[in-house]
Amino acid sequence: MDKKDLFAAFDGFSQNLMETLAEAEALKKQVQDLVEQNAALRLENSKLRDRLSQFSQLEESESGNKGISSRKENLENIYEDGFHICTFFYGQRRENNEDCAFCMELLYRE
């Protein structure tokens, strides 16, 4: 293989690498979007369950506070998984797992 062929081969190789890298970035973005969508849906689900138990008299009379505490647990789980539960960044990932004052307010207010 002469030098010309060698450089051509390297050009092709690095071109492929760039394309693969771009594809990987695109995939990563898609996964991030899906993960955030999933967190937002979990939040919605938790809200709807909460609503449902408000309307269901059976649950209300049998376990008045159970609905609220399990909703809080749900929110805690979602927060612990690294997502915002506050209205400002609803369902988005918490960057580097940093605590969010708005989320904390929701979780720990009495």
Q: Which is nearer to Zn ion, 65 or 87 (CB)?
A: 87
Determine the Cα–Cα distance for residues 98 and 106; give it in Å rounded to an integer. Answer: 16
Determine the Cα–Cα distance for residues 32 and 34; give it in Å rounded to an integer. Answer: 5
Q: Is 43 in the site for Zn ion (CB under 5 A)?
A: no
Q: Is 102 in the site for Zn ion (CB under 5 A)?
A: yes
Q: Which is nearer to Zn ion, 30 or 37 (CB)?
A: 37
Task: Yes or no: say if 53 and 59 are a contact pair by the CB < 8 Å rule.
Answer: yes
Dihedral sign (CA 49, 52, 54, 56): negative
Task: Show contacts with Zn ion in window 57-86 (CB under 5 A).
Answer: 84, 86
CB of 72 to Zn ion, least distance (A): 16
The residue number with the shortest CB distance to Zn ion is 100
Task: Yes or no: say if 91 and 84 are a contact pair by the CB < 8 Å rule.
Answer: yes
Largest Cα span, the chain: 85
Q: Which is nearer to Zn ion, 67 or 103 (CB)?
A: 103
CB of 53 to Zn ion, least distance (A): 25
CB of 49 to Zn ion, least distance (A): 21
Q: Is 42 in the site for Zn ion (CB under 5 A)?
A: no
